[in-house]
Structure 1
Amino acid sequence: MDCQDVVALIEEIRHLGSELDDVEAKTAQGGLPERIYRSLSALSNLRGGGVILFGVDEEQRFAVVGVPDVARLQQELASIASEMRPPLRLHFDICEVEGQRVVAVTVPECPPDQKPCYWGRSRLEEGAYVRVGTTNRRMTVNEIRRLWASYRDDVDAEVVPDASSEDLDWRRVEAYRAQLLHRDPESAAAEQTPEQLLLGVHCLARDGGVVRPTLAGLLLFGRNPQYYFPRFIITITQYTGTEVGQEIIHGRPYLFDTEAQGPIPAMIDKAERTVLGLIKRRAYFDGLTRREIPEYPEFAIREAIRNAVAHRDYTARGSHIDVRLFADRLEVRNPGGLFGDLTVERLDEAPPSTRNPNIMRVLQDLGYVEQRGTGIRRMIAEMRQVNLEPPHFKDAGTYFLVTLKNHTLLDEETLA
C-alpha cells in the first residue's frame, strides 16, 4: 500500500462518516490500544484481511492526529502479532498526511485452514473475533465449529455404505443429462454414460471394487432416499394463529400438515406447490383483467425453500426442514447455521465455499439455485416492492431461520 492509497482511504472514511468493513482507524495518542488484538483477530479472519490506520481519530471525524512514537508502535504491535495464533506477519507503511505521521498496518488474511486466528494469551473461545460491519465481535462457539467444519471433506460426497446403484432412479439421471446437453450440446455429458456422468459430479463413488451412491447422489436421484435417511424431509404446517397451538381446530393444533419426501427436486416441487396453495391471495381488476396479489412474493417463498434444502446440514441425520405458516408470517427453518465465515450481514455475497458443493452443483444445473449471491438480494427487493418488511434471517448455529412477514397485506387500510 502506498501513501496515495492511505490518503484515499482516509478521504473515503471521512466521506462515509464511518470506518469500512475492512478498515479501522485508531488515534494511538496514548500508545497502542489495550485490546488491539481484537482488531488483529477480526481482520485476519475477514476474507482478504484489512487495514488499521493509526494516527486517525474517529471521534474527531477522522481527523489526522498523527502517531507520536512510530518506532514504539511498530515494536509493540509486532510483538502482539507474534502472540496471535497463528502468528501474523504485518506490513507497515509510514506516511506523511496533513503534516502528521500516519501508520497504515496491513493485516493479512489468516490461511483458511488455520482460522480462526485468535490471541494466544487467551483461550480460543475468548480470543477469536469476527468483523461485523464496522465492529469487532467475539466469535461464538458455533461460529468457530462452523469454520472448522468448512475445511473437512465434503459430507455430501461420502459414500452411503449400504446403498447400491439400484437405489437410484436412472430416469432422473437421464433427464439430468438431457438438460445438460440442452444447455450445452458440447458438454462432456455427450460422451459419458450415465454412470460416468454421476461419477464426475460426485453422485457416485468407488467403494473398494463397488460403485455406490454418495449422499448427494442418493438425495438427488434416489428412488426412496428416506429409506436410508428417514428425517431428510420437509414438513409443511399451517396454523390458525400467530403461535403454535394457539387455537385448536377439530382437536388439532393446526389447520393443515403434510410432508414432502422423495429425492430433493421432488421435495422442493411439492413443498413449493403446497405453500403456494395455502397462502392467501388478494384479487383486483386491472381494467377488465382479474389479477391476484399473493400474500408473499412467490420468488421469496421459492428462494427460502430451495436455500433451506441446498444449504442444510446433512450431518444432522435426525433433523428435518420445517416450513410453518402462521397468520402473520411464514417461517422456513433448516438444520445447521450459516457455513464457513459467512454471516447474516453478508448473506447477499456469493460465498467462496458451500456446505454441500455437489448437491449445489446439480441443483444449479437443474435450474433450482444459483451461486452468484443474487437470490437474497432479489428476495429483499421483491418483499419491499409489495411494501412488506425485508426477510428476517436468524443464524442460531444449530439451525437457520428465514421469516417472511405479511403485516402490510393484513392491513386493510393499506390495501384500500
Structure 2
Amino acid sequence: MQDEELAEIVENLRLLGSDLSDVEVKRAEGGLPRSAPATGLSDPAKMPSDLAAMCAADIEPPLRPHIGIHDFEDTKVLVAEIPELPPHLKPCFSRGAGMSQGSFVRVGDGDRKLTSYEVQLLLANRGQPREDEAPVPGTGLADLDATLVTAFLTRLRTRRPYAFADLDDVPALRRAKVLVTDDGGAVVTSVGGLLALGSYPQEHFPQLMLTFVHYPTADGADTATGERFVDNVVAEGPIPVIVRDTLLALRKNMTRRSVVHGAGRADSWQYPEAALREALVNALVHRDLSPGARGTQVQVEMYPDRLTVRNPGGLFGPVTEDQLGEEGVSSARNATLLRILEDVPLPGGTHAVCENRGSGIRTMINALRAARMSLPEFKNRVSTFSVTFPNHTLLGKETVDWLTSLGEHGLSESQCVGLAILREGGHLDNQTYRTETRVDSRVATQELQDLIARELVVQTGNRRWARYRLAPALRPSPGGTARRADRRREILGALRQGERSRTELAAATGLTDQTVARWLRILRAEGLVETTEENVRNPATRYRRTGKLALGDDSDG
C-alpha cells in the first residue's frame, strides 16, 4: 500500500466515523491486537513479524498478509492487506477455537460468529454440491407428474438425440438423473427430479415450497389497523407450477403505472414480469438443498415501496455480487436440477423454466432498464441470498416534471437517470452509475463531475470511496423544488479586485473547483470574462473581467 492510499483510507474513515466493511482499525499501544491491524505501534520493528507469525501459526488455512509500516501524522501505522480466500479454502478460522467456534464473518463494521449451518454450507461449497442428486426414499415413477415427464422426455429426445433418442422412458430418466438408485438398490426419484417433475414434492419435503406475503406498510403489518397482510399465498407443487402460481399471485397484487418513453407514455406492470420470473427461478433453482436448509422455504415479500425475493444459501462458487449480470459469469449450486429444468416447460407454454443458462440476471436487469426502473439490490450472505426491486419508475411523469423544473440544459439521459435514482432515495458511486446507465468508466466520471459542477449532486469520500448524493437544495420538501443560485454575480464579484486563478476563485467564493470551472466557461462564452493565456485547463491560468457587464450586474456599485 502506498502512503497516498493510506491517507485516503483514513480520510474516509474519519468522514464515516466508523470502520468499513473491508477496513478495520485497532490501537496497538499495549502490543499486537488479536483481531485487527494496528495503529500507534509500541514496537514497530517487532510487530510485523509477530503479526505474520500469528497469521501463519494461529489461523487455518495459514494467511500470508502483505504487511507494511507507514509514517502517518507523527506516528507509526502497521497496515496488513489480507486478500479474500477462494471459496475452496473457506471458512478461515482460529485454530485455538476450532472451526465451529472460531469462524467469523464481517457484517458492517463488526464481526459475527458463523452458525453451524453456515460453516457446513461453506464446507459443502468447497466442491460441487450433490444434494439435488440424493435419492428420496419411498418414491418412484408414480410420484412424478405424467404430463411434465412426457414434455420433458420429448424435449430431451429432440434437443439431445445422441444421448436420449434411442432410450426408453425409465432409462432416459435415469440418465438424466431424475431417477437414481438408493442404498438398497431400489430405483427412486432424486431430490432434483422430484422438485422439477414431481406431482407433489411437498409430501416428502413440506418446506421446499414458496410463500408470498403482501404487506400493507413498508414495515410489514399495519399496527394502527391491525391488518397483518393484504394477501398471503403458499405456492406448492413442482418448480414449474410454483413459478406459474407465484406470478399469478404477483399479478393479482400489482398495479399498472404510466412510464414516459420519449414523447409518449405507456402503461406497464408495477414490476416487469420478465424480471420477476427470473428472480423466482433463480431463487428456486439455486437455493441450498442440503438437509440443514430443507426446513426453509423461498420467500417473496411485497411492500408498498419494494419487493424482495429471498432464498436459503448464498452465492455459490466464484461469483460475487459485483459480477452478477456480467456475460460469461455463472455458477450453479444444483447443477443437475438446473440441467433438468432446461428441458421442463413452464405450464401452458413452450419456454423452459431455465431457458438460457447464465443469462437470468442479465434478463432481469434488461427488463428493469426497459421499464425505466432502478436496478435491483442484491444481498449475498453465507446462508441467504436476496434480490430487492425498488417500487418506482425512474422517469415517470412526476420525475420528468421535476427534472424539467431544474432548468438545466444539456443533461444526458444517463445523468437524468442518475438524478432520478438519487431523488428516489438511492445512492450512487461510480460503479453503480455505470451499471444503472450502461456508460463506461470514463463517461461516468465525466458526467458525475459535471453534475457536481452544476451543483446538482455533492460528493463525499474520494477515489474508490467516492459517493454521490442529491444536493441539499434539491431534496424533496413541502415547499417544492428549490432553485439553485446563478453564480455569475459571485464569480464576477470575486474578480472585481483583479485577476485570479480558478483555485483562488474557489477559495474566495466557497464554491467547488468544478462549479467555478463551469461558470467560468459560461462567462467566457458570454464575453464577460477572459483569460490571460490560452491554456484554460491549467488551474493556474488567471481570469479577469472584460469591460462588458452582465444584465443586472451591480457588483461595481
* TM-score bracket relative to the smaller structure: 0.5 to 0.7
Where 1:272 maps in the other structure, the secondary structure is helix
Query: Judging changes above 3 Å, is the alpha-carbon distance between structure 1 residues 80 and 311 closer, same or farther for their aligned structure 2 residues?
Result: same
How far apart, in 1, do the equivalents of 2:34 and 2:355 lie? 39
Aligned residue number for residue 302 of structure 2: 325
Aligned residue number for residue 119 of structure 2: 144
Query: Judging changes above 3 Å, is the alpha-carbon distance between structure 1 residues 137 and 382 closer, same or farther for their aligned structure 2 residues?
Result: farther
Offset, 1:300 = 1.9
How far apart, in 1, do the equivalents of 2:206 and 2:102 lie? 40
Offset, 1:175 = 1.2
The partner residue of 1:414 within 385, 395, 399 is 399
Aligned residue number for residue 62 of structure 1: none
* 2:339 partner amino acid: R
1:24-55 Cα deviation digits (max 9, x unpaired): 9xxxxx9xx9579979xxxxxxxxxxxxxxxx
Report matched runs for 1:11-410 at 5 Å. 79-80=53-54, 82-83=56-57, 85-86=59-60, 88=62, 112=88, 115-120=90-95, 123-124=98-99, 128=103, 140-141=114-115, 143-151=118-126, 154-186=130-162, 188-207=163-182, 208-246=184-222, 253-283=228-258, 291-314=266-289, 315=291, 316-334=293-311, 336-340=312-316, 345-346=321-322, 348=324, 350=329, 352-354=331-333, 356-366=334-344, 367-369=352-354, 373-395=358-380, 398-408=383-393
Offset, 1:338 = 0.4
Offset, 1:309 = 0.8
Query: Judging changes above 3 Å, is the alpha-carbon distance between structure 1 residues 282 and 108 closer, same or farther for their aligned structure 2 residues?
Result: closer
Query: Judging changes above 3 Å, is the alpha-carbon distance between structure 1 residues 385 and 376 closer, same or farther for their aligned structure 2 residues?
Result: same
Offset, 1:293 = 2.1
Offset, 1:305 = 0.9
How far apart, in 1, do the equivalents of 2:36 and 2:200 lie? 49
Where 1:191 maps in the other structure, the secondary structure is coil
Offset, 1:383 = 3.1
Whether the aligned pair in 2 keeps the contact of 1:238 and 1:326 (CA below 8 Å) is yes
Whether the aligned pair in 2 keeps the contact of 1:90 and 1:108 (CA below 8 Å) is no
Offset, 1:214 = 1.4
How far apart, in 1, do the equivalents of 2:278 and 2:194 lie? 23
Aligned residue number for residue 96 of structure 1: none
Aligned residue number for residue 445 of structure 2: none
Whether the aligned pair in 2 keeps the contact of 1:344 and 1:394 (CA below 8 Å) is no
Query: Judging changes above 3 Å, is the alpha-carbon distance between structure 1 residues 242 and 88 closer, same or farther for their aligned structure 2 residues?
Result: closer
Whether the aligned pair in 1 keeps the contact of 2:87 and 2:126 (CA below 8 Å) is no
* 1:360 partner amino acid: L
Determine which structure has greater relative contact order: mean sequence separation of CA pairs < 8 Å that are 6+ residues apart, divided by chain length. 1
Where 2:301 maps in the other structure, the secondary structure is strand
How far apart, in 2, do the equivalents of 1:106 and 1:399 lie? 25
Count the aligned residue pairs: 362
Offset, 1:376 = 2.7
Offset, 1:222 = 1.2
Query: Judging changes above 3 Å, is the alpha-carbon distance between structure 1 residues 109 and 227 closer, same or farther for their aligned structure 2 residues?
Result: closer
Offset, 1:285 = 9.8
How far apart, in 2, do the equivalents of 1:88 and 1:353 lie? 28
Query: Judging changes above 3 Å, is the alpha-carbon distance between structure 1 residues 407 and 159 closer, same or farther for their aligned structure 2 residues?
Result: same
1:216-264 Cα deviation digits (max 9, x unpaired): 1111111222222333322333344434332899x96444333322211
* 2:203 partner amino acid: Y
How far apart, in 1, do the equivalents of 2:49 and 2:269 lie? 62
How far apart, in 2, do the equivalents of 1:393 and 1:108 lie? 20
Structure 2 portions without partners, runs of 5+: 10-21, 23-27, 38-43, 67-80, 345-351, 402-557
Whether the aligned pair in 1 keeps the contact of 2:87 and 2:317 (CA below 8 Å) is no
Offset, 1:277 = 4.2
Offset, 1:162 = 1.7
Whether the aligned pair in 1 keeps the contact of 2:317 and 2:331 (CA below 8 Å) is no
How far apart, in 2, do the equivalents of 1:108 and 1:184 lie? 40
Whether the aligned pair in 2 keeps the contact of 1:37 and 1:80 (CA below 8 Å) is no
Return the index of the structure with the highest Cα Rg.
2
Whether the aligned pair in 2 keeps the contact of 1:110 and 1:116 (CA below 8 Å) is no
Whether the aligned pair in 2 keeps the contact of 1:168 and 1:221 (CA below 8 Å) is yes
How far apart, in 1, do the equivalents of 2:214 and 2:112 lie? 38
Q: Greater shift after overlay, 121-130 or 405-414?
A: 121-130
Query: Judging changes above 3 Å, is the alpha-carbon distance between structure 1 residues 108 and 227 closer, same or farther for their aligned structure 2 residues?
Result: closer
Offset, 1:311 = 2.1
Offset, 1:310 = 0.9
Whether the aligned pair in 2 keeps the contact of 1:348 and 1:373 (CA below 8 Å) is no
* 1:414 partner amino acid: T
Offset, 1:107 = 7.8
How far apart, in 2, do the equivalents of 1:89 and 1:274 lie? 49
Offset, 1:410 = 11
Aligned residue number for residue 424 of structure 2: none
Query: Judging changes above 3 Å, is the alpha-carbon distance between structure 1 residues 259 and 226 closer, same or farther for their aligned structure 2 residues?
Result: same
Offset, 1:301 = 0.8
How far apart, in 2, do the equivalents of 1:111 and 1:392 lie? 23
Offset, 1:387 = 4.2
User: How many percent identity over aligned positions?
Assistant: 31
Query: Judging changes above 3 Å, is the alpha-carbon distance between structure 1 residues 127 and 215 closer, same or farther for their aligned structure 2 residues?
Result: closer
Whether the aligned pair in 2 keeps the contact of 1:198 and 1:204 (CA below 8 Å) is yes
Where 2:310 maps in the other structure, the secondary structure is strand
* 2:57 partner amino acid: E
Query: Judging changes above 3 Å, is the alpha-carbon distance between structure 1 residues 175 and 341 closer, same or farther for their aligned structure 2 residues?
Result: closer
